[in-house]
Amino acid sequence: QVQLVESGPGLVKPSQTLSLTCTVSGDSITTAFYYWSWIRQPPGGGLEYLGHIFYSGNIYYNPSLGSRISISRDTSKNQFTLQMTSVTSQDTGVYYCARTGQISSPGRSYTYDSWGQGTHVTVSS
């Protein structure tokens, strides 16, 4: 059974860069044809899809975030990462990594068959 575990700082200062890592076990992030995604949920808000990295290495970002985010992977460690620059208080929330075999509705929870437990990120000085 696949397991995903997010890790990263719980507190980030405004204007700094947030870096999160998702460590995957029980499956390889290069297994066809899975998408490995980052999703977040602000306090009191709904899920927001941030982007994904396909098993092949292709990457897609939610256009609403512009150039603030980047996703990468380390296949030797079976990890993929999220970096978000110039964070503000609006970036506070719970960040999840998740896996799906189809990405037609990336902002919907039912899209994903496996989730990490989520990591709380607070942006505050």
- Residue 103 has what pLDDT? 86
Whether 86 has a pLDDT exceeding 90, the answer reads yes
Is the pLDDT assigned to residue 38 strictly greater than 90? yes
State how far the Cα of 24 lies from the Cα of 45, in Å rounded to an integer: 27
Mean pLDDT of the chain: 95
- In the chain, the N- to C-terminal Cα span, in Å, equals 39
CA neighbor of 21 nearest in space, from 33, 46, 38, 35: 38
**The pLDDT of residue 50:** 97
